[in-house]
Structure 1
Amino acid sequence: MTQLSETVRIDTEPTEVGDVAVIVVDNPPVNALSSHVRQGLYDGLKKAADDGVAGIVIICEGRTFIAGADITEFGGGAQKAAGLNEVQALMEASPVPVVAAIHGTALGGGLEVALCAHYRVSVRGAKFGLPEVNLGLLPGAGGTQRLPRVVGVPKALDMMTSGRHIGVDEALEAGLVDQVVDNVVDGDLAALRSAAVAFAAKVVEEGRPLLKISDRDDKILAHRGDEKVFADFRASIARKTRGFLAPEYNIRCIEAAANLPFDEGMKVEGKLFLELMTGPQSAAQRYAFFAERAANKIPGIDKDTPLIDVKRAGVLGAGTMGGGIAMNFANAGIPVTIVDRDQPSLDRGLGVVRKNYERSAARGSIPADAVEQRMALITGSTDKAAFADCDVVIEAVFEDMELKKSVFRELDEICKPGALLATNTSALDVNEIAAVTSRPESVIGMHFFSPANVMKMLENVRGDRSSDTVVASTMAIGKKIGKVPVMVGVCRGFVGNRMLFARGAEADRMLLEGATPAQIDTVLYDFGFPMGPYSMSDLAGLDIGWKAETSTGSTIREVLCESGRRGQKNGRGYYTYDPETREATPDPEVVELIKQFAVGHGHEQREISDQEVLERLLYPMINEGAKILDEKIAIRGSDVDVVWVHGYGWPVYRGGPMYWADSVGLPEVVAKVREYGERLGGRHWELSPLLERVASEGGALHQYSN
């Protein structure tokens, strides 16, 4: 064995056709393509050629093949070392076969390395993908030019614009993998190594050609000059990728692969990669990537803090939220008990869960047999005593403090010692709820976002007496069930809804001043949000919490409800809706109702510019976010951004409200908050001392940490 760099070594394996060099990468945790890995690969390929071996195998230690680039080097932190393109050139030009032995994941730069091998051997459980689009990038080491030549244009378009990982069967069918090593578990690297060495020897023995993907064109010729396939694909993803640059740039590169010689296509890839790499969208998306990981770190919680072993979960309430929460646990293979007040309510809730799974199976999101497998993990009951053996119980009942306190008194009596008791409240005081139990240290907030089986955000709310074990366990549970967990403190609305309340108050005030629901919603939609507050209200239902017998017509929403408007459910809300397509149309009658209400309450009407609308919607959020940080409700500015990206649809290519405020310039934000505060008044325009201080010091809110 020869150590080539701190993370790469080279061994040899004797075979009947001669020695096969085995270049081993060992750069935990994911064998990223750090500078020392690239240099080690380069030196290993050179040494193998100098030693006159019969073949070369590239394999990785640990849990995965090369899982991508070292993102920490993207900002210019890379040490001087061989470039990836130099490593790839040596691989392709090798006079002996190079075989990539793949386990775990071959992603991004890792797959781009594997695509430069002459052959690829994989274990059954491996995954393959080019997910750079999720960082606002495109594969910049030939991936956009090689992948279409292997799997064809349609599959390359799908994989690269979605970042989707494909499994071995799909990779084998597409031609991405040459041999699957069956009957080998993913972690059995000795068996994979033996199989790859044997495959390399077989290639030599049979005189197989040294296949260079860059020379292939058989799978792209059919789409040369074919504008329709690209136009149709753009149309199919337009809604999902609205506002993002990277998907379109990936498509342009695949067009270049189909229409240009390889070297010319590489020039297109290089140019577009540089534009994205140096642009604001990728910077924001890379920031969001690291912010999500930073949110897992809770100051004062030791990494060795004991965790609650969750073998069974309980959910109180079989409604939309409770059913969605239960699905998260079943999806993770954790048995879950749902309890509701009566059998019809329980049956209705379980029926909705089943329909959700059946819909996912019909779309191909889950295997057909997963429906019954997951439903078998969900048990229903009308008796809270069924929670007695649960390790975590989450209540998802109506948002009423007295009701929740009553529930927690019962759970305190029923649940076993050490069980984690969580409330799904979106705004109420977790400390007040915990205080009615004999074990406030076991109580915490777990604020799921609706629909809970879809939305990634999990806003965990740490009570004053929540134990370290409960805090650490809640974060671990969130990750296990596929969420993006963030730990926050107790205040009305916590982080996300508290900022939303400020935005909503200002939106409603602008309606009274002359802005229309369509204008406000359009401004936010054009900024990158999936919808604005009034489209959202119509979707949820205007009559949630409204009762005709107690309605006083004191708000615009009450006036609309009194006029028979319920939102999408009856086709009339802030907008009117097509009964077939659900397409919204601004309603002049609603505009007139709002105007009459406003004038009747003494508000002058005027034209409000879109820029003012944007500032008055977003600057109160930023100001409130700074107050949240100042009060230590959020640990980091980046945590605030994670909540808003994953919980409220803030466009990730703008980083989050704190990051966006820094990009606008905090002095400008401060000046505008002062200006609007003097003109409009209101608590949400009272300037945050922290915002003022960070702006004066030239700091950044997204980097602020408590």
Structure 2
Amino acid sequence: MSQPVSVEIHENIAIIAIANPPVNALSHAVRAGLEAAFAEFASRLDLAAVVIYGTDRTFIAGADIREFGKPVQEPLLPDLINRIESCHLPVIAALHGTALGGGLEVAMGAHYRVAVQSARFGLPEVTLGILPGAGGTQRLPRLAGVDFALEAITSGRQIGAQEALKVGLIDRISTTEDVRAAGIAFAKDLLAEGKGPRRTRDLVVDPVAPEVFEAAKAKMAKKARGQLAPQNCIKAVEGAATLPFAQGLAQERALFQELMESDQRAALIHAFFAERQVAKVPEINGVTPRATDKIGVIGGGTMGVGIAASGLLAGLDVTLIERDGPAALMSGDRVRKTLKDSVNRGKLSQDSYDEILANRFRASNDYKALVEADVVIEAVFESMEVKKDVFTQLDAVCKPGAILASNTSYLDLNEIAQMTSRPSDVIGLHFFSPAHVMRLLEIVVADQTAPEVTATGFALAKRLNKIAVRAGVCDGFIGNRILSHYRKACDGAVLAGASPFDVDRALVSFGLAMGPFAVSDLAGLDIGWATRKRLAPTRDPREVYAEFADRLCEAGHFGRKTGMGYYVYAEDGTRENAEVLDHVAADRAAKGITAREISEQEIVDRYMAAMVNEAARVVEEGIALRPLDVDVTLLNGYGFPRWRGGPMQYADTVGLDKILRDVKRFAEEDAFLWQPAPLLARLVAEGKTFADLNNA
């Protein structure tokens, strides 16, 4: 096996090549190889410069995730970078692909940086609940200034070569894409100019008023409510501006260690790995997917347009079908507008836009336009009769082997599949709105869905840049089934004494971007109302049913779309709708409930206990394969705060025994809603966690 770090001598220049595919991660072997190389250079008198570059497609894309959670072996990355920076020879980092995290910290420890035009840079540690802990918070302000460092480190965003050159992060953009040649050429130019080492640690940070950091902390407290890592990032950058370099490094390390020991870091690491694990589905292991180049979309509403745009942006050929000619024209215009918005935001070039409309998109009212489609996705009104009619027509016109998919949010996919002569080719592809933006895709596997059809769903999700989660068939699948349960718990909190506005405030404080009642307004209260009416015939008489939501709808208040719901939406701003409290009071009176004070903590406890309890049922029934599938679903489709890792990770963090105690506590008030899930009770009895199930 070849060494991940090799050294060659070109004239009087030492060239270090890092080869640790696929992304040249900073494994122990890479760190040890670099340490050995620079230890050797210390005694070499025949060398004039050092060039570091990465082979294959990238420089160093960060830490080695295979080493996460394991004891760190020397050399430690901060020590290695200090050694590189202390080298008596000028050290040039030649950059291509990505220099991320520790990779960018290595590059900043070099004395000079040259990059190819396509290179990208970033310090994304904050997204994992930590901060750049190998000098990144100290060197970036010295190279690019405090303002840039604060924004780049707290956002974790990537930047391109032009921006990096403008702010001073790199010194040159190469005219060649041959990164090795670019590094050698830059080294020769530096030597010709008589330039020696230029250590980043010796650069002076421009003076910054203390108010800059206080403003940054206040802004981040609002933007990233409750999150530790962004605040520690700001403190570390502040140290670069106010402390000598060595002290700044020491403070950075202390802040880094504080985060490493936090629940938030564990939660964000869990989310990171869960999103990689979720696509590992046993039934499709080794199964070859079918083609997904040409897709059809039935329905030109908000969801259908979003799905069509998502396919087009991913390079697919898309045919959109509507009920008649005028509707097809209107839907085609909406797709074009969505794509034009992508052009205006810089996400799509004008040339690509023109190519899509000329060659890869068409809107029609004729199902026969779908004869060559590989996958057809139905996205019509959430009515079983309407969907059955669509699938009957699709079965008649689509080619053998074409996959027929439904975007249903709740309905029985098995019943839909029976409308075709090919139930093994039917699958659910549940997108989330707006479909060209939201990353979650529930892949719903019916009783007769063929494994290669499931595999194709996952392959299509990858092409669309979606995070796919396998789900079984039940009312609402994974996400919406759990949603219906915790929404009932929120309604129960209101009936018990809280207001909908209290609930929203408590859960925003917990970490949600919007409270559940505000979200309902945004989605449209009529959508939930239609679902409740559909399920009314099957409602158990023991259920404590909240009437106040229905009263709002009966009054014609459907949320933002009508200007009024739980909140009033006016030109002068948004305010609470006082009518809601009248509906709530009437509902309590009819049920004989005396309102009591409900604390923020109780609201959170109800919300989380209901979510976790129902999720445990979803896992036990096989609707979700593992607890991590639930976490990925709620994180990417339902606004659950990422820094809490998902509901199952949260439950493990606070303790499953606490969740079970809460369920039993609330059962004293409503025994029907609050029935402990058998899996939850069993795990508590056995002293196990949801993580144990993930690892099984």
Question: Does TM-score exceed 0.5, indicating one fold?
Answer: yes
Report which stretch shifted further, 526-535 or 287-296. Answer: 526-535
51, 58, 62: which one aligns with 1:57? 51
Q: CA distance change for structure 1 residues 81 and 611 in 2, over 3 Å: closer, same or farther?
A: closer
CA contact (8 A) 1:543 1:561 kept: yes
Which residue of 2 is the match for residue 331 of structure 1?
313
Q: Is the 1:7–1:36 contact (alpha carbons within 8 Å) kept by the matching residues of 2?
A: yes
Task: Give the total of aligned pairs.
Answer: 682
- Aligned counterparts of 2:5 and 2:585: Cα–Cα separation in 1: 71
Task: Return the alpha-carbon distance in structure 2 between the equivalents of residues 238 and 332 of structure 1.
Answer: 36
Distance 1:373 1:240, change over 3 A: farther
Alignment of 1:49-448 (within 5 A): 49-52=42-45, 53-78=47-72, 80-184=73-177, 191-217=178-204, 220-221=205-206, 224-233=207-216, 239-303=222-286, 305-364=287-346, 366=348, 371-372=353-354, 375-376=357-358, 377-448=360-431
Paired position in structure 2 for 1:10? 7
Q: CA deviation at 1:131?
A: 0.5
Quickly say closer, same or farther: Cα 1:432–1:141, change in 2 above 3 A.
same
Q: Does the CA-based 8 Å contact 2:85-2:111 persist in structure 1?
A: yes
The one-character-per-residue Cα deviations of 1:556-590 (angstroms, maximum 9, x if unpaired) are 22322333423223332212233243x2x233332
Post-superposition offset of 1:499? 0.7
**Residues in 1 aligned to 2:334 and 2:225: alpha-carbon distance in whole angstroms:** 30
Tell whether 2:619 aligns with 1:625: no
Quote the Cα distance in structure 1 between the aligned partners of 2:619 and 2:490: 23
Match of 1:187 in 2: none
Which deviations, in whole Å up to 9, do the C-alpha atoms of 1:417-444 show, x marking residues without a partner? Answer: 2222211111112222222222222221
Q: Matches of 2:65 and 2:614 in 1, distance apart?
A: 32
Conservation of the 8 A alpha-carbon contact between 2:220 and 2:231: no
Deviation string 1:360-387 (CA, Å, 9 cap, x unpaired) is 4445555566554555543222222222
The Cα of 1:530 is off from its aligned counterpart by 1.6
Report the Cα distance in structure 2 between the residues aligned to 1:704 and 1:245, rounded to whole angstroms.
28
Alpha-carbon shift at residue 41 of structure 1 (Å): 0.6
Q: Give the counterpart of 2:566 among 561, 574, 579.
A: 574
2:5 maps to amino acid? V
Contact 1:401/1:433, CA 8 A, preserved across alignment: yes
**C-alpha distance in 2, partners of 1:470/1:527?**
39
2:693 to 674, 691, 704: 704
The alignment's TM-score, normalised by the length of structure 1, stands at 0.91
> Contact conserved, 2:176 with 2:182, CA < 8 A, in 1?
no
1:210-242 deviation line (CA, Å, top 9, x unaligned): 22122122xx41xx2324544555565555422
Tell me which of 539, 547, 552 is aligned to 1:555: 547
* Contact 1:99–1:121 (8 Å) recurs in 2: yes
Corresponding residue SS for 1:643: helix
Cα distance in 2, alignment partners of residues 6 and 572 from structure 1: 66
Give the distance between the partners of 2:663 and 2:451, measured in 1 at CA: 38
Write the distance in 2 (CA, Å) between the matches of 1:95 and 1:210. Answer: 7
Cα displacement (A) at 1:196: 1.6
Give how far 1:630 is off: 0.9
- Contact preservation (8 Å) 1:457, 1:484: yes
Q: Whole-Å Cα distance in 1 between the matches of residues 143 and 114 of structure 2?
A: 15
Structure 2 CA distance for aligned equivalents of residues 568 and 265 of structure 1: 49
Range moving further from structure 2, 200-209 or 498-507? 200-209
> 1:54, 1:201 within 8 Å by CA — same for their partners in 2?
no
Q: Which amino acid aligns with 2:143?
A: V
Q: Distance in 1 between matches of 2:234 and 2:335?
A: 37
Shift in alpha-carbon separation, 1:562–1:471, aligned structure 2, 3 A: closer
Q: Is the 8 A contact 2:619 2:625 kept in 1?
A: yes
> 3-state SS of the aligned residue for 2:62?
coil
Q: 1:330, 1:375 within 8 Å by CA — same for their partners in 2?
A: no
How far apart are residue 183 of structure 1 and its match?
A: 4.5
Q: Distance in 2 between matches of 1:543 and 1:491?
A: 22
CA contact (8 A) 1:638 1:703 kept: no
Deviation string 1:477-496 (CA, Å, 9 cap, x unpaired) is 21221211111211111111
Cα deviation code 1:39-93 (max 9, x no counterpart): 1110011223334322222122232211111244342433x32121222122112
Distance 1:614 1:446 in 2: 31
Pairwise CA distance, 1:141: 0.6
Contact persistence 1:102–1:122 (CA under 8 A): yes
* 1:268 CA displacement: 2.5
Paired-residue identity, %: 45
Structure 1 residue corresponding to 2:645, chosen from 644, 651, 655: 655
The aligned amino acid for 1:151 is A
- Counterpart residue identity of residue 558, structure 2: R
Superposition deviation, residue 95 in structure 1: 1.8
1:38 is matched with 31
Distance in 1 separating the partners of 2:343 and 2:222: 23
Match of 2:540 in 1: none
Deviation at 1:678, TM superposition (A): 4.4
Q: Residues of 2 paired with 1:666 and 1:229: CA distance? A: 43
Which residue number corresponds to residue 690 of structure 1?
A: 679
CA distance in 1, matches of 2:328, 2:592: 49
Counterparts in 2 of 1:238 and 1:398: CA distance versus 1, 3 Å: farther
Question: Which amino acid counterpart does residue 176 of structure 1 have in structure 2?
Answer: L
Which position in structure 1 is the counterpart of 2:447? 464
Aligned residue type for 2:291: D
Deviation at 1:606, TM superposition (A): 3.0
3-state SS, counterpart of residue 686 of structure 1? coil
Residue 662 of structure 2 is aligned to residue 672 of structure 1:
yes
Q: Supply the distance in 2 between the matched residues of 1:258 and 1:204 (Cα, whole angstroms).
A: 32
Change (3 A) 1:308 1:239: farther
Q: What is the distance in 2 between the residues matched to 1:635 and 1:288?
A: 16
Letter in 1 for 2:120: K
Give the superposed CA RMSD: 2.5
Cα distance in 2 between the residues matched to 1:492 and 1:426? 8
Say yes or no: does 1:593 pair with 2:591.
Answer: no
- Alpha carbons 1:514, 1:595 under 8 Å: kept: no
Residue identity matched to 1:325: I
Matched residues in 2 for 1:469 and 1:265: separation?
55
| Alignment deviations for residues 332-358 of structure 1 (CA, whole Å, 9 cap, x no partner) | 222222221134433433444444444
Asked if structure 2 preserves the Cα contact closer than 8 Å seen for 1:8 and 1:25, the reply is yes
Letter aligned with residue 700 of structure 1: T
Pairwise CA distance, 1:633: 1.4
Question: Does the CA-based 8 Å contact 1:326-1:336 persist in structure 2?
Answer: yes
Change (3 A) 1:154 1:693: same
Q: Is the 8 A contact 1:637 1:703 kept in 2?
A: no
The SS at the match of 2:623 is coil
Which one-letter code corresponds to 1:586 in the other structure? E
Q: Which moved more, 1:631-640 or 1:550-559?
A: 550-559
By how many angstroms is 1:139 displaced?
Answer: 0.5
Distance change (3 Å), C-alpha of 1:391 and 1:48: farther
- The aligned amino acid for 2:689 is A
